[in-house]
Chain A
């Protein structure tokens, strides 16, 4: 089945540093979604990208969809302790009925 690879698996940063997580697929994706899961919590939808080369911003978060629609990235500028959690990408599979989630990137922010 389709796989969505996500790197890195873990990232520790000092507060104020930037953070980026990458999502890669060997096949062209029709869309990609990003979710955030706080420690002990459940995944919460952040955004969806659909168009080739699309860039969307949410405050300090910037999401990009590659030109070939095979990769995506989430960049956080000047991390804060509230950014702690695991970030997942997810891509549409199975004829459009389901999402395949990446393995996630766990972000820890130290003061």
Chain B
């Protein structure tokens, strides 16, 4: 099992450009999450999904969109990147809700100039 994979691993964008981050899991998990990690601020939830075809806003959803068309994939989109979106992005999945451990992907380091 590959667990949770993320592509790309690194990306540099110019302000105003768009991109999509892909997360895939092969554990048949229902729940998937997108977090951003900034120095001194821990992990902040951007969006999450409780099952195929569902999405919900997290703590910091502005400027991001997500889609969960297939159970194993969770996409995070930036329509018009801003320097404030420079961060490390982690995808995670879990079998059940917050009572289950979350499995994290390796992360995507995004820089917006």
Contacts and interface: CB of A to CB of B under 8 A. Distances in A.
Contacts of B33: 98
Q: Which of B58, B98, B103 has the most CB of A within 10 A?
A: B98
A97 B101 contact: no
Given A1-B59, A42-B90, A43-B90, A99 B42 contact: no
B43 interface: yes
Interface string B93-107: 000011101111111
Contact of B106 (A9, A42, A48): A42
B43 A97 contact: no
A92 B105 contact: no
Given A1-B59, A43-B43, A88-B42, A99 B90 contact: no
A43 B40 contact: no
Contacts of B43: 43, 88, 90, 101
A33 interface: yes
Nearest to A9: B40
A1 B61 CA distance: 14
A48 B99 contact: yes
B112 interface: no
A1 B44 CA distance: 12
Closest 6 pairs between A and B when the two form their complex, measured CB to CB? A92-B98, A45-B101, A42-B104, A103-B42, A101-B43, A96-B97
23 contacts: A1-B59, A33-B102, A41-B106, A42-B90, A43-B43, A43-B102, A44-B104, A45-B101, A45-B103, A92-B98, A94-B98, A97-B31, A97-B56, A98-B45, A98-B48, A99-B45, A99-B98, A99-B102, A100-B45, A100-B59, A101-B43, A101-B44, A103-B41
Interface of B: 31, 33, 35, 40-45, 48, 50, 56, 58-59, 90, 92, 97-99, 101-107
